[in-house]
Amino acid sequence: MRARVCRTVATACGLGVLLLYAAPFRHDSGTFAIGSTRAVRTTATCDPPGPPPRFGCQWSTDVCDWFCPVCDPFGPSPRPSCHWDGNLCNWLCPGYTGVEVTVQTLQPPVQDATVYVRLSSLCTATGAVAACNGRFAVYPGMSISQKCQAIVDAIANNCSAAGYVVTENNCRLAASLTAGNAGCPGTQFALGLSNDSSVFDQTAQGPLPDGESENTTGTAGSCAPMPGPVSNLRLETLNGGLDLRLTWDDTTNTADYVVFSDASPNGIFNAVAGTAQSGTAGTTVTMPPGSEFYLVAGSNPSCGIGPRH
């Protein structure tokens, strides 16, 4: 039987050393005597309380704690506003890093330019660097929805091999997108946009030199309260079959709802088909020309999008 974990001196926990004496009666020449066996010594067992906090850490049974090697920064800071976190072994950039990062395009470009996209992180589980770079051209007359979609395409075409995915594509309705670190879900990553391939800093969230502007925000790994799961999605045809109304049961910890669609039931469901303030009111979409599948998720300012059902 294992004793509970003790981080102080073993005897202070009353578990340190236990001497067990077995003292059976023995019959010898018509008399009874007590014979003792050899003492057995057991010590408290100290098991790790869970997985290591990051890669390279070793569990010490002597002190009952993790020992992690010194973690030096990998490469230069992505932005002047970033700082190196030795415990996470990663760069943290206020407003630009998170396990999910949302980008909303606010202003369209006013001149021809090239926009560079960079995503980077160091996986706290493996120590592997995941970085990718993409770029695309912008031009006067390009809408904010088109600019947003160009960012989505740059991430999809250049960053999937590094483990990054677009988890929410709301470019059509709100000119916004959310990217996630599917290759190392627990690790925060930085997402930068720039007109200069060597400089990624929009600390003031101001416009790029070509006039366009984005608002970039990151979501931390832990948050509360998480939106509850949505249930009982219902579909109803309207206007002689020209429109489709979706309603569902309201859930907990939710400020509003997002409806995702995909042409495949096993798709990634990152395209936003509509939004709603409540499941009772729901949302109405145009009847798709072919088969279309829908999922709904609650959302709140603290945790963003909740589970999709």
Q: What is the pLDDT of residues 132-146, one digit of tens each?
A: 999 999 999 999 999
pLDDT at 307: 86
Domains plus CATH for the chain? 10-67 (no CATH), 83-219 (2.60.40), 231-305 (2.60.40)
Q: Residue 222: pLDDT band by 50, 70, 90 thresholds?
A: low
pLDDT at 300: 86
pLDDT at 164 over 90: yes
Average pLDDT over residues 19-26: 36
Per DSSP, the three-state class of 201 is coil
C-alpha–C-alpha distance, residues 45 and 51, integer Å = 17
Q: What is the DSSP string of 20-89?
A: E----EEEETTEEEE-PPPPEEEE-----SSS-SSTT-EEETTTTEEE-------SS-SSTT-EEETTTT
- Beta-carbon contacts of 182 under 8 Å, excluding residues fewer than 6 positions away, are 163, 164, 165
223-233 residue pLDDT tens? 778 889 999 99
Half-sphere exposure of 150 (CA within 13 A, CB side): 21
Least confident range from 78-82, 151-155, 240-244: namely: 78-82
pLDDT at 198: 75
pLDDT at 39 over 60: no
Q: Residue 70: pLDDT band by 50, 70, 90 thresholds?
A: low
pLDDT at 254 over 50: yes
- Beta-carbon contacts of 186 under 8 Å, excluding residues fewer than 6 positions away, are 99, 124, 125, 221
pLDDT at 221: 64
130: amino acid identity, one letter: A
pLDDT at 273: 93
Q: What is the 3-state secondary structure (H, E, C) of 133-194?
A: EEEEEECCCCCHHHHHHHHHHHHHHHCHHHCEEEEEEEHHHHCEEEEEECCCCCCCEEEEEE
Per DSSP, the three-state class of 244 is strand
C-alpha–C-alpha distance, residues 80 and 69, integer Å = 26
Contact 248, 279 (CB under 8 A): yes
Q: Residue 125 — left, alpha, or beta (φ > 0 → left; ψ -120 to 50 → alpha)? A: alpha
* pTM higher than the cut 0.75: no
C-alpha–C-alpha distance, residues 256 and 140, integer Å = 34
17: amino acid identity, one letter: V
